[in-house]
């Protein structure tokens, strides 16, 4: 079976960072939410950056806007591997 490992290089605004930080802070008040699955032991910074990436990539794939990817996704690097 083949697989591909992909790395995205994303840019984000101070406002996106602030909103993600507020979201993570809110999630800390709700430790039983689905948000926490697979995130045990991550730092606040890792959680914030992960949330920003998730929002950007979800927006790109779910709400296609021709100019969107030019604003936030500045690179995509792929490596094919065999599993």
pLDDT digits (tens, 9 = 90+) for 34-57: 989 999 899 999 999 999 998 888
Domain ranges of the chain: 2-82
**pTM assigned to the model:** 0.75
What's the burial of 17, exposed, middle or buried (CB within 10 Å: 0-12/13-18/19+)?
Answer: middle
Residue 63 has pLDDT above 70, yes or no: no
Residue 66 in 3-state DSSP? coil
């Amino acid at each position: 079976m083949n697989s591909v490992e992909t790395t995205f290089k994303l840019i984000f605004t101070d406002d996106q960072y602030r909103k993600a930080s507020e979201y993570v802070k809110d999630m800390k008040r709700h430790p039983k939410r689905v948000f926490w699955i697979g995130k045990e032991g991550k730092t606040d910074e890792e959680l914030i950056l992960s949330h920003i990436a998730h929002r950007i990539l979800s927006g790109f794939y779910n709400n296609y806007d021709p100019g969107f990817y030019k604003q936030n996704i500045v690179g995509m690097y792929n490596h094919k591997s065999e599993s």
